């Protein structure tokens, strides 16, 4: 038996805009998908599940797919694939390679979905540091700038997994330490925030702000630079921030989704998703979704695609989640493990209700 | 095809007593289960599998369940749920929050099972340290006290995963180092043993004693304070203790059960269970049990619930293990991977024979 | 539906020779299998899948199996089991306990397969260090010796997981540091290369040589001494070697196969197999193979048995891979996730084409 999941409202609580313009070369398009559509689960999924939305047969060849995509042009590709994704609301991270992708209002128009913003802490800090050579000014300016930048935003997001890593001192750094770190960064002329002290400062400012703080873990963006991003290493910081009551959302933990689920179980303020992993693992999404439903409370799980760029990723994230949830929940109802009512309740919690409550949508 | 597992004798080789008195408030009961019965695998299992034992329909609501439970009272709840668990023998850890749960003799009466004791090293050490202000006396008194405390016990258990963690020097600490650590603890007026040197001292005293030494790993008790308890970090200590011939039992390794199985494979004296994980992951128990049967020799695996308090946990541990073993072994026999005789043999090994041999029951 | 995998050509790109002579005692044979055929997945597989090749019934008893094996003698056992494995080409690691196993030409004759050599870095270095007492001579001699030793070889292999571990400085060590490390080893009279500086030197010399570099990870040889061999810890070294263009092959990553797959996804030069894990986990091979197909590109996965000694291991490696691939790919084709053509293509890529391309076979 299958649980019907097609009609469930879906909030994609962490994604990026769809591509603004068609990739000039097939190799550029394939690089955005992490490699050839002929040699990965993701590529097979594009040919199986996205091809029909472009008017092709299922399992179209990579050549056919690229040809159809190029002929249609990015606006039409976006319209079709985002339409098929049928996501109701996107929360878009506007801090990563924004020149290449649609701005929130454009993504809303292309998808027909409501769109809200998530502010990336490191991007805002880098922006400020490019505009000053006074580390003292930076220390005092960041909280105010964060406040202003998030006036209409629903969350902040920290990318420390891509930089300093999770194995850092959990406490709030002193003003003096932050000033010195900013000074080092200014002296070195660095463009990206990678200093662990600065990362800690940004995270604690985000806690002070009070909006939910998303933290990227495990397999993530294309700029991921640090494979060792096991969220268990965040335990100290999670313990230090639990009393604040500010929600922390661990994003796309694969292959650490069981560990992330454990954290959601033991820390009151921790929420999780499997995010980017689902589209990547393709026909294995069913197992990964089942594992994600082991320890984490169902009221603390969310859906995200972490898609950036090609709208194939927005579609496949949603499709994989809907399809895997239908199979997993259907099997449990079929074995009389779960009642059908409970399965539906969990489907709506993870699909949209938890995100609506958490982000006050 | 299914392998019949209902009638297999079951030794729960690490649990705690059932609740002495009914929780006063529903919220207290739910906290003992780690959260609302509406939002977790464990909660769904309570409503599906425990409700009938209380005279309710399967998938009863959380309200109905709490109401029936409160009406029956704890003695009757215990009688029904422990009866349904059908465990033949319990080894009870008597060192954790003993005021709230039945003493061994009471648990035996309520369950109709044989009950033996497991002595918690840290609790005994804390007891001694509360009764002296002389660290030298502690160093010499602990081995003798351990000997006396375990006269009728079947094993000791170390909770270092909850305190100092596994990433410690594997060797036996010097008497001088132990004395200094005890002195620090006495000076600081600490109630709990958390010092890594003291932890090492307790573990080595347990090895000297010669009873099997249980070590908690991964997801465990409610007082778990250290999510990073990967048993692979114990490798050095396991290598150092292998020649002693004293059995070490790694308890409830989820989500590190594959790693724990590896250790049982390469170290002669290492045994494992999946313990607490099974009741927690609910309808995913089948996958977790299958994974636990990958590397660990079948003569070195045991069953435990790690249940503490609500008898729902004693029942669900046993039910999940029996049900998942029936499904997993049944599938392998059905695919002609295993013979039916081998499946039955493994069922009895893990269900009771390994524990009976290891603990001389 | 099942995908037919019996006829696919198979390259076992990392194995050791089959046993030269029958084990004298049953206990010695069982130790080579890691324990009793009565108490592990591997043992059950021997009785289920190897017994018929020796003329016994499926699920023969351990006594019957040992008796038949002893009666036939090792040449006939090898002929039958290696014949049933139906491997087309072996790449044999000739650096581990070579006295007990067939030399490459002998293994070729016994199996009817083509055989090529893989040179173990640590064995060559230990050989050189036994023949000199001048650390300076060692530093200059190793590259030339490696060049000579690999004239007909297809790859080198590093066993650092068994010695210094992966958590080492990724950079090329200075000549001075290598000389000092060799000096320390010579002074101490050590037989095995375990020094992290020497390990780094060997690995960088292998990169300079340009042949594919195999690196053992996770569960492996019987001499494995370091359970903590998570390939994620190699990230720094992989980043440092990516520009060289020399392929790196992470061998048998279980239980870290998901992490290894991630590395194959993000590093251009990284390839992976699940190797030794498959025969070990027996009837769980289906799940492990499915997990190995999650992130790693299909053009960067290979097959190996990592078998050493008893030809049961050569057969079970091949049988488990073929059987699990048939089940996993068959299920995905059956669910219309993959096309049958794609399934066949991936089968041939991993079975032999990737290895033929990588090792220029």
- pLDDT of the residue at B229: 80
Contact B247, B269 (CB under 8 A): yes
Same domain for A239 and A333: yes
Cβ-count burial B297-312 (b if 16+ within 10 Å, e if not):
bbbbbbbbbbbbbbbb
Rounded to whole angstroms, the Cα distance separating A226 from A215 reads: 14
Same domain for B333 and B202: yes
- Which chain C residue is nearest to residue B238, measuring alpha carbons? C227
Partner chains of A (3+ C-beta pairs under 8 Å): B, C
CB contact under 8 A, A35 and C297: yes
CB contact under 8 A, C226 and B232: no
Q: Give the pair of three-digit tokens for residue B193.
A: 């043993």
Same domain for B192 and B61: no
Average pLDDT, chain C: 92
A130-181 pLDDT, tens digit each: 888 888 888 889 999 999 999 999 999 998 776 667 778 889 999 999 999 9
Which residues numbered 278-297 in C keep a CB inside 8 Å of some CB on B?
280-284, 287-288
| Residue C107's pLDDT band (cuts 50, 70, 90) | very high
- Please tell me if residue C252 touches chain B, with a CB cutoff of 8 Å: no
The residues facing A101 across adjacent strands are A19
C-alpha neighbours within 13 Å on the C-beta side of residue B360: 8
Same domain for A148 and A38: no
Return phi, psi of residue B89, to 5°. Answer: -145, 135
Same domain for B131 and B53: no
Same domain for A308 and A182: yes
In a domain, residue B79? The reply is no
Contact B352, B87 (CB under 8 A): no
- Please tell me if residue C227 touches chain B, with a CB cutoff of 8 Å: yes
C-alpha B9 chain-centroid distance? 18
CB contact under 8 A, C262 and A226: no
ipTM of the complex: 0.95
- Our CA-based measurement puts residue C297 at a distance from the nearest CA of chain A, in whole angstroms, of 5
C-alpha C310 chain-centroid distance? 15
- pLDDT of the residue at C1: 61
- CB atoms closer than 10 angstroms to residue B357: 12
Same domain for C107 and C45: no
User: What residues contact A297, with CB distance under 8 A and at least 6 apart?
Assistant: A264, A265, B35, B36, B39, B40
Same domain for C162 and C112: yes
- Please tell me if residue C223 touches chain B, with a CB cutoff of 8 Å: no
User: What residues contact C143, with CB distance under 8 A and at least 6 apart?
Assistant: C205, C208, C209
Same domain for C95 and C27: no
Residue with token string 């009609």? A7
Q: Give the pair of three-digit tokens for residue C134.
A: 């001048």
Same domain for A11 and A29: no
In a domain, residue A269? The reply is yes
Same domain for C211 and C187: yes
Q: Provide the whole-model pTM.
A: 0.96
CA distances to A184, C286, C322 from C289, rounded to whole Å, are 48, 5, 10
In a domain, residue B3? The reply is yes
Rounded to whole angstroms, the Cα distance separating B310 from B17 reads: 9
Rounded to whole angstroms, the Cα distance separating A341 from C273 reads: 43
In a domain, residue C11? The reply is yes
Q: Give the pair of three-digit tokens for residue A314.
A: 């927005």
- Which chain B residue is nearest to residue A339, measuring alpha carbons? B59
Q: Give the pair of three-digit tokens for residue A292.
A: 């994600």
Per-residue pLDDT of chain B (361 residues; tens, 9 = 90+): 678 898 899 999 999 999 999 999 999 999 999 877 789 999 999 999 999 999 999 999 999 999 999 999 999 999 999 999 999 999 999 998 889 999 999 999 999 999 999 999 999 999 998 888 888 888 889 999 999 999 999 999 998 776 667 778 889 999 999 999 999 988 988 888 888 899 999 999 999 999 999 998 876 544 455 556 888 888 889 999 999 999 999 998 889 999 999 999 989 999 999 988 899 999 999 999 999 999 999 999 999 999 999 999 999 999 999 999 999 999 999 999 999 999 999 999 999 999 999 999 9
* pLDDT exceeds 70 at position C89: yes
Question: Looking at the 3D structure of chain C, how many domains does it have?
Answer: 2
SS (H, E, C) C207-226: HHHCCCEEEECCCCCCCCCC
3-state DSSP call for residue C331? helix
In a domain, residue A77? The reply is no
Partner chains of C (3+ C-beta pairs under 8 Å): A, B
In a domain, residue B125? The reply is yes
Domain extent, residue B32, equals 23-72
Asked which of B48, B72, B96 is the last residue of a domain, the reply is B72
Sign of CA dihedral B202, B205, B207, B212: negative
* Angle, CA C157 vertex, CA C155 and CA C163 arms, to 5°: 170
Ranges C152-161, C250-259, C310-319, most confident: C310-319
User: What residues contact A255, with CB distance under 8 A and at least 6 apart?
Assistant: A218, A219, A277, C258, C259, C262
In a domain, residue B287? The reply is yes
* pLDDT exceeds 50 at position A222: no
Same domain for C165 and C32: no
Rounded to whole angstroms, the Cα distance separating C39 from C36 reads: 6
- Our CA-based measurement puts residue A205 at a distance from the nearest CA of chain C, in whole angstroms, of 31
Is the N-terminal amide bond of C255 cis, ω within 30° of 0?
A: yes
Q: Give the residue among C330, A225, C39, C328 at the shortest CA–CA distance from B342.
A: C39
Rounded to whole angstroms, the Cα distance separating A66 from A312 reads: 12
The kind and range of the H/E element at B119 are: strand B114-120
CATH number of the domain within which A282 lies: 3.20.20.140
- Please tell me if residue C243 touches chain B, with a CB cutoff of 8 Å: no
In a domain, residue C78? The reply is no
């Amino acid at each position: 038996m299958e649980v019907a999941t097609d009609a469930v409202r879906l909030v994609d609580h962490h994604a990026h805009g769809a591509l603004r313009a068609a990739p000039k070369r097939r190799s550029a398009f394939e690089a955005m998908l992490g490699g050839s559509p002929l040699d990965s689960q993701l590529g097979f999924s594009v040919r199986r599940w996205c091809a029909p939305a472009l008017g092709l047969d299922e399992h179209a060849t990579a050549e056919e797919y690229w040809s159809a995509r190029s002929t249609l042009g990015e606006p039409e590709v976006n319209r079709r694939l985002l339409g098929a994704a049928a996501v109701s609301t996107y929360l878009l991270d506007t801090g990563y390679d924004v020149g290449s992708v649609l701005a929130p209002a454009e993504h809303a128009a292309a998808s027909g979905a409501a769109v809200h913003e998530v502010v990336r802490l490191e991007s805002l800090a880098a922006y400020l540091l490019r505009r000053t050579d006074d580390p003292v000014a930076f220390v005092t300016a960041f909280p105010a700038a964060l406040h202003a930048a998030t006036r209409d935003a629903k969350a902040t997001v920290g990318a420390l997994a891509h930089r300093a890593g999770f194995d850092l001192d959990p406490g709030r750094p002193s003003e003096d330490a932050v000033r010195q770190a900013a000074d080092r960064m200014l002296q070195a002329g660095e463009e990206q925030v990678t200093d662990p002290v600065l990362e800690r400062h940004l995270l604690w400012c985000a806690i002070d702000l009070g909006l939910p703080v998303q933290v990227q873990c495990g397999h993530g963006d294309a700029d991921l630079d640090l494979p060792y991003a096991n969220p268990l290493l965040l335990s100290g910081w999670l313990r230090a921030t639990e009393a604040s009551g500010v929600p922390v959302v661990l994003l796309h933990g694969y292959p650490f989704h069981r560990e992330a689920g454990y954290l959601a179980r033991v820390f009151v303020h921790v929420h999780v998703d499997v995010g980017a992993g689902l589209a990547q693992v393709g026909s294995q999404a069913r197992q990964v979704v089942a594992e994600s439903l082991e320890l984490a409370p169902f009221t603390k799980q969310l859906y995200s695609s972490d898609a950036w760029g090609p709208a194939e990723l927005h579609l496949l994230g949603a499709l994989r989640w809907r399809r895997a949830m239908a199979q997993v929940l259907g099997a449990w109802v079929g074995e009389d493990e779960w009642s059908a009512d409970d399965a539906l309740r969990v489907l709506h919690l993870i699909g949209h209700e938890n995100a609506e409550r958490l982000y006050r949508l």
